[in-house]
Amino acid sequence: MFEQVVQAALLGIVEGVTEFLPISSTGHLILLVDLLGFEGPPGKVFEVVIQLGAILAICVVYFARLWHVVTGMIARDPRAWRFATAIVLAFLPAAVLGVLLHKIIKEVLFNPTVVSVALVVGGIAILLIERLVPPARHHEIESFTPWLALRIGLFQSIAMIPGVSRSGATILGSLLMGVDRKTAAEFSFFLAIPTMLGATVYDLGKNWGSLSFDGGLIIAVGFVMAFLSGLLVVRSLVDFVGRYGFAPFGWYRIVLGLSMLGLLYL
C-alpha cells in the first residue's frame, strides 16, 4: 500500500506539472505508469480524478477573472462574450475529432513508442517555431476573432496524439497566429477547462461500468498532489516564458524522447 501511495503522489505531481507545460501530460503519464508498473484503482477513476485536480488549480488561480467573465456575460458585456466565444470556438475542433477518433487513438496510439517519437518531433517543432514567430498582434483574449480562435483550436486537436501536448499545440499555434507569449499561455490555461472537463466526462461515460472507488486513499493522494503542483505551475509559467521563452521545453522534450527510445530499443 505504501508503495502505491508514493506512486500515486508522483503521478499526481507529474499530471499537475505537465498538464500546463508544453511537454505532454498524457505522454509523461503513459511513460511513468509503464516504468513504475503502477496498478491503481480499477477502471479510469484515478486518471479522471487527478485531471480534475489539475482543472481545479486553474479555476482557483483565475477565479476572479472567470467570475468577471460570467458576470459580464449576464450583464451583456461585449468583451466578456468575446472571451467566452473564443474559448468555445477553440474547444470545438478537439471535441468533434475526439468523439470521432477516440477509439482509434486509445487502441493504436497510446503506447510508449508513439509518445517518445511525438516528444522528439514536438521538441524540434518548438525550437523551430521559436525562431519563426511573427511579431505579436494580439495581446488579449477579448480581441480574438472567431476565425483566430477556431484556428488555434485546430492546433489543439493535434494533441490527441499522445506525446504532442495539448498546451504545447495550443501555445505554439497561438504564437504562429500572432498572439503574444503571455496571452498564448493564458489562453491555453482557460481552454484547458472545457477541453479537460469534456474529455473527463466522455471517458467517464465510456468506462462507467468498470469504475470503482476502491483505494480511496490512493485516489485522494493523486488528486491533492495534482492540484498543488498545478497551482505552482499555473502561477509561475507565464513569468518563466516571458523570461526564457519556450526553447527550454523543446530541448527537454528531445532529451526525454530520445532517452525513452533508447530504453525501449537498446
> What is the per-residue pLDDT across 190-237, written as a single tens digit (0 to 9) for each?
999 998 888 777 766 666 665 555 567 888 898 999 999 999 998 888
Which region among 107-111, 114-118, 126-130, 192-196 has the lowest average model confidence (pLDDT)? 107-111
Give the pTM: 0.87
C-alpha cell at 71: 458576470
Q: What is the mean pLDDT of residues 258-266?
A: 88
The number of domains in the chain is: 1
Residue 134, domain extent: 2-265
Write down how long the chain is: 266
Highest mean pLDDT: which range of 46-50, 66-70, 244-248: 66-70
- Partners of 179 in the β-ladder: 138
Determine contact, residues 192/156, Cβ cutoff 8 Å: no
Distant-in-sequence, close-in-space partners of 145: CB < 8 Å, separation ≥ 6: none
Q: How confident is the model at residue 108 (pLDDT cuts 50, 70, 90)?
A: confident
Which residue type sits at 266? Answer: L
Cα angle 174, 31, 12 (rounded to 5 degrees) comes to 75
Distances (CA, A) of 165 to 29, 66, 156: 12, 24, 8
What value does the mean pLDDT of the chain take?
A: 87
